[in-house]
Every structure is written in C-alpha cells, then in structure tokens.
C-alpha cells in the first residue's frame, strides 16, 4: 500500500494547483501543498524527489510561490495561527 500515499499526494497537488489558480483560495492551496509534502515524506521520498514531484504537478513558478507562502506563514506564529483558523473554517 505505499503507493496509496504517493497517489494521494499527486491528487492533492492537482487540487492545490486548481485552488492556487483560483486566486482567492491560497490558504486551501497551501493546506493541500503541505498535506502532499507530508504524504510524500511518509513514504521516505528524498527531498530532491519531493521537489521534482512538486514541480511536475504544479509547475516551477507555482511550486516556488506556494513554497514561499509556506515559508512566510511558518516563520510568523500569528500568520500561522490565522492560517490554521482559516483552514478550520473551510472544513466546518
């Protein structure tokens, strides 16, 4: 069953791209991005391969933009709390 996490990660990245292109769903895109990266890490995929999978599914520019947003949000505890609250509101 290891393939299951990789397939789920690819699906999450496809949805991430759709949410990112929407323009108003950046937090949903970021959530799906983080979930996909976590799923790939659970399969012991190397960081280089994870980067390749991200670029293959999202494109280089979107992958860099979402990664930059992730870095920005995780660096600031207030932004991270806002992100968690916003994502929680999406799933209610």
In the chain, domain spans: 2-90
More confident residue, 57 or 6: 57
What is residue 1's predicted lDDT score, i.e. its pLDDT?
41
Residues 6+ apart with CB under 8 A from 50: 37, 40, 41
State residue 89's pLDDT score.
Answer: 85
pLDDT value at 36 more than 50 = yes
Region of 23 on the Ramachandran plot (φ > 0 left; ψ -120 to 50 alpha; else beta): left
Q: What is the pTM of this model?
A: 0.90
Residue 41: half-sphere exposure toward Cβ, Cα within 13 Å:
7
Task: Look at residues 39, 88, 37 and name the one whose alpha carbon lies nearest to residue 58.
Answer: 37
Confidence of residue 43 (pLDDT cuts 50, 70, 90): confident
Phi, psi of 45 (to 5 degrees): -80, 135
> What pLDDT is attached to residue 70?
96
Q: Is 7 helix (H, G, I), strand (E, B) or coil?
A: helix
pLDDT number for residue 2: 55
């Amino acid at each position: 069953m290891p393939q299951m996490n990789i397939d789920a990660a690819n699906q999450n990245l496809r949805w991430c791209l759709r949410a990112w292109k929407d323009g108003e769903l950046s937090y949903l895109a970021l959530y799906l991005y983080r979930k996909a990266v976590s799923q790939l890490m659970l399969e012991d995929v190397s960081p280089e391969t994870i980067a390749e999978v991200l670029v293959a599914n999202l494109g280089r520019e979107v992958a860099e933009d979402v990664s930059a947003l992730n870095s920005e949000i995780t660096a600031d505890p207030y932004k991270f709390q806002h992100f968690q609250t916003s994502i929680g509101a999406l799933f209610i």
